[in-house]
Amino acid sequence: MTVLEPFLFPFVQRSLAEIILLSVAAGLLGSWVVLRGLAFFTHAVGHGSFPGLVLAGGLGLPPQLCALVVGLLFAGGLQRLSRARGGAYDVVTALLLIGALAVGVILASDVFHSGSDVETLLFGSLLAVGAQDLVLAGVAGLVALAASAWLGQAWLATGFDPDGARQLGLRSAAPDALLLLLVAVTAIAALTAVGVLLVAALFVVPAATARLLTRSLRALQAGAVLLVAAEGTAGLWLSVRINAPPGATIALVSGVVFGAAAALRAPVALIVASRPVSRGG
Amino acid sequence: MSPADLVGVLVEPFTEPIVQRAAAGVVLLGIVGGLAGCWVVLYGLSYAAESLAHGSLPGLVVAVAAGLPLLIGTSGGLLVAAAAIALVARVPALGRDTAVSIVISTMLGLGALLALAPSTPRGLAALLFGDVLGLSTADLAVGVVVAALLAVLLAVFHGRLLAVGFDRETAARLGVRPGLVELLLLVLLGLALVVVVPALGNLLAAAILIGPAATARLVTRRVPAMLAVAVLLAVGSGLAGLDASYQLSTASGATIAATILVVYLLALGGVMLRRRSAPSAGPGGPAVR
Amino acid sequence: MQWRRRSAAGSPAARSPGSDEASLCEVADLAVGYPGGPIVLEDVSFAVRAGMLVGVLGPNGGGKSTLLRTLLGDLRPRAGRVATRGRLGFVPQTDRSRLDYPVSARDVALMGSLTGRPWWRPPGRDDRRATADALARVGLTELADKPFGELSGGQRQRVLIARALVQDARLLLLDEPFAGLDLPGSDRLLQVLDDLTADGCSALVAVHDVDQARRWDRVLCLNRRQVAFGDPATILTPRVLELTYGGAITLGGHEVEDLAPTASDRLARPGG
């Protein structure tokens, strides 16, 4: 197979289009995920939508819709519980996302008898995307652009100094709630591509890499989008060449790229010990 | 159906040798998970534990593919994942959660690639979701050894674990080395996972670590009580889940995990209701994080 | 380098009557405690008028930060009264925020515009203009686009002041802004405070260094209760300083445990 031959297949071309379209939403919202420490939430939304996908497959319903409904209920329930039991937030979330997987497995293997599909749901089926997925990815990108322009300042202020933002007058919970909602919606748009378990490969890892390499917000966002597109394309190409699941290859590629960036930048950061360390994560 | 009949139906699965062996495994799981899980929860490491379990997938797959003992695969994978997370978390601009997300996503991708390669013998599903009914005598033997080892370690280091968990800085001034204690926690977690992963699988293993301990924390005030309650709950949930999976013909590992979750949510609901009716009363759990 | 003396033209005493003499902030018999805990600050009475630069002195735990938080509305008074006119702008220490964030000085100052608008309205042209003005007033126009984390301590502090100005705050509350600053940085910051109060703003500045406050309009000495309030030239006697910063002091071989000021030690009435 020559270098560019994978891209001659129509299904690969569709997959490529999906990745490029997803890169806008994944890169933009991924930047916010990294800046606002929402990696856990993104991971949880992915897990939470798993039972929804299984239900959709078993009942013949549209998958993204089911995933969205279940994923949102899951994420919403998570937020409510986090407020009720402040300190035990990570206990509840960890248990719930394991629970979501367990429920999905029970439904899949014993109610719908679709055991083999579980793996595709978990790790994605990028090579089988349809027109619907492309449209969804495109819409997600537009929504991400608009939302980032509209609420970016509020999100930035809260991330920079949460108490200060409140004192400054940003007392509404709406901007952050919308951020979480948008992250959930775009994560679900990405599920077809990379599956339930690897959402971070598109949302968190490229944006984290960009974070290491940039100093301004604009650069971070642009960098994240470019990296998602590049890593997605490279992962896709690799998966066709070695006949491996594309979601997993993309995850591996993005991880390796991050590792390289960290190796380049981190020693500088570690040596410059006087640089203040960010509070928590 | 009379109560005697009901009991008969519930107990029936345990008359079969396969289920008896699985039950023995579940009891060991419960002991190991309950004990190690208490410290995981007290140190606020629930997400870490869940993620490290995922992160050990490549190690697990390599061990299975190469025919090595699971102990090496899981522990090795765990150590690599933990080291990677620690390294990445030191990057100033990224928080710990982001570091975990990055490492685990990469590890899961790598593990899936290795597992879905045609040359891997055991199916990915078994690795991911466990096989309670397929536990071997060797697995049980390992379980007994690990359970004993865990109990001894926890007894010996109880004071230090408590001090560092309560107030890391002061513990250091008292002469305890917090870094070593945290390393010990990692060891405890690794040992627990070795026993739990073959039964519940890589993706669900953390349930038995987090759930019973978190439930115990809701209803106890001191750590020794928390440990005892956690073990009881873990064993109980495990056996109940095993029974339910037999009765309902569902995947056993997943059913056990679901049972653990239900128990926790019921306890949480109970505590919240009680707190709403009597705001000043109610247990707050052991005063550690 | 000498501390610049406050110009007489800027001091409130030189102001013509008929100008805005109303207090921006009046506190009477205030007592504050944290929720569920004992009272940590009591007997506080003072008033701040437009153009005043007030130093808040006291030991750690003496109540400086508590007072600021109460004025901001974070803590509810257990007793007494707090009345404020116009907006208060809080200028915290800069290490409370994330220094590694991809924000420029301008971005941070712009955050002040959150005060005037509902959450669903993004910053507009007016907000951006106000930001540019505020940055100019604190002398940071050239550094406006530099990443916040790369600025010096004093520059960061001035950015946060600019943020309060964008909020359209008339009374600035500064929590130990001089901490960790070198001499040029402190001097620059002092100059900014002088300029701002000359323009009609007021500032309540918690400081550690008594000498800084000697040049200001008023000082408020706190040590779990108000020790003194008034013109530093008359107020800052050795006795007052002892009461403010003292803890257990041995007198003649006996340990005098509590040097908390009694009513008779109060040397000034509010508004003095």
Predicted confidence (pLDDT) per residue in B238-284, tens digit = 999 999 988 888 888 999 999 999 999 899 889 888 888 876 544 44
pLDDT at A125: 80
With an 8 Å Cβ cutoff, are B106 and A269 in contact?
A: no
The three-point CA angle C259-C261-C262 to 5° equals 120
pLDDT, tens digit, for every residue of C251-263? 444 444 444 444 4
pLDDT at C244: 86
A109 at B interface, C-beta within 8 A: yes
Spatial separation of the C-alpha atoms in residues C6 and C15, rounded to whole Å: 14
With an 8 Å Cβ cutoff, are C119 and A167 in contact?
A: no
B248 within a domain of the structure (yes/no):
yes
CATH code for the domain of B261: 1.10.3470.10
With contacts defined as CB-CB under 8 Å, which chain A residues touch B40? none
Nearest CA in chain B to A102: B254
With contacts defined as CB-CB under 8 Å, which chain C residues touch A161? 92, 96-98, 111
> What is the extent of the structural domain holding B230?
3-281
> Nearest by CB to A266, which of B91, B97, B204?
B91
Residue C249 forms beta bridges with which residues?
C256
Q: Which of A160, A171, A172, A211 to mutate to test the interface with C (most CBs of C within 10 A)?
A: A160
B241 at A interface, C-beta within 8 A: no
With an 8 Å Cβ cutoff, are C101 and A214 in contact?
A: no
The three-state secondary structure class of C119 is coil
pLDDT, tens digit, for every residue of A39-61? 878 887 888 888 888 888 888 88
With an 8 Å Cβ cutoff, are C102 and A153 in contact?
A: no
B289 within a domain of the structure (yes/no):
no
With contacts defined as CB-CB under 8 Å, which chain B residues touch A85? 268, 272
Spatial separation of the C-alpha atoms in residues B226 and B39, rounded to whole Å: 10
Counting the structural domains of chain B, the total is: 1
The three-state secondary structure class of C25 is strand
Q: Of how many residues is chain B composed?
A: 289
Q: Which two tokens stand for residue B247?
A: 């009765």
DSSP assignment string, C120-172: TS---HHHHHHHHHHHHHTT-STTTTSBGGGS-HHHHHHHHHHHHHHTT-SEE
B60 within a domain of the structure (yes/no):
yes
B38 at A interface, C-beta within 8 A: no
Residue-wise burial string across B83-92, b where 16 or more C-beta atoms lie within 10 A, e elsewhere:
ebbebbbebb
Nearest CA in chain B to A122: B112
Question: Touching C: which chains, 3+ CB pairs < 8 A?
Answer: A
A276 at B interface, C-beta within 8 A: yes
B287 within a domain of the structure (yes/no):
no
Lowest mean pLDDT among A80-89, A169-178, A220-229, B183-192: A80-89
Gap from A219 CA to chain C (nearest CA, Å): 9
B161 within a domain of the structure (yes/no):
yes
Domains of chain A with bracketed CATH:
5-280 (1.10.3470.10)
B259 within a domain of the structure (yes/no):
yes
pLDDT at C262: 47
B207 at A interface, C-beta within 8 A: yes
Gap from C26 CA to chain A (nearest CA, Å): 20
Q: Which of C173, C220, C176, C205 lies closest to C69, judged by CA?
A: C173
With an 8 Å Cβ cutoff, are A35 and C101 in contact?
A: yes
ipTM tops 0.90: no
B288 within a domain of the structure (yes/no):
no
CB within 8 Å of chain C, chain A residues 200-219: 211, 214-217, 219
Spatial separation of the C-alpha atoms in residues C263 and B29, rounded to whole Å: 68
For the cut 60, the answer to whether the pLDDT of residue B289 exceeds it is: no
Q: How many CB atoms lie within 10 A of CB C231?
A: 14
B286 within a domain of the structure (yes/no):
no
With contacts defined as CB-CB under 8 Å, which chain A residues touch C72? 167
Q: Which of C102, C37, C45 lies closest to C266, judged by CA?
A: C45
Gap from C233 CA to chain A (nearest CA, Å): 34
First to last CA, chain C: 31
Spatial separation of the C-alpha atoms in residues C262 and B179, rounded to whole Å: 49
A86 at B interface, C-beta within 8 A: no
For the cut 70, the answer to whether the pLDDT of residue A275 exceeds it is: no
| Contact call for residues B27 and B235 (beta carbons, < 8 A) | yes
H helices, E strands: number in chain A: 13, 0
pLDDT in tens, chain C (272 residues): 333 344 333 444 433 333 446 778 888 888 998 888 888 888 899 999 989 999 999 888 888 989 998 998 888 898 898 988 888 898 988 776 678 788 889 998 998 888 878 877 888 899 999 999 999 999 999 999 998 888 998 999 999 999 999 988 899 999 999 988 888 988 999 999 999 999 889 999 999 888 888 889 999 999 988 888 999 888 888 888 888 887 543 344 444 444 444 444 444 434 33
Spatial separation of the C-alpha atoms in residues B38 and B211, rounded to whole Å: 9
**Global pTM value:** 0.78
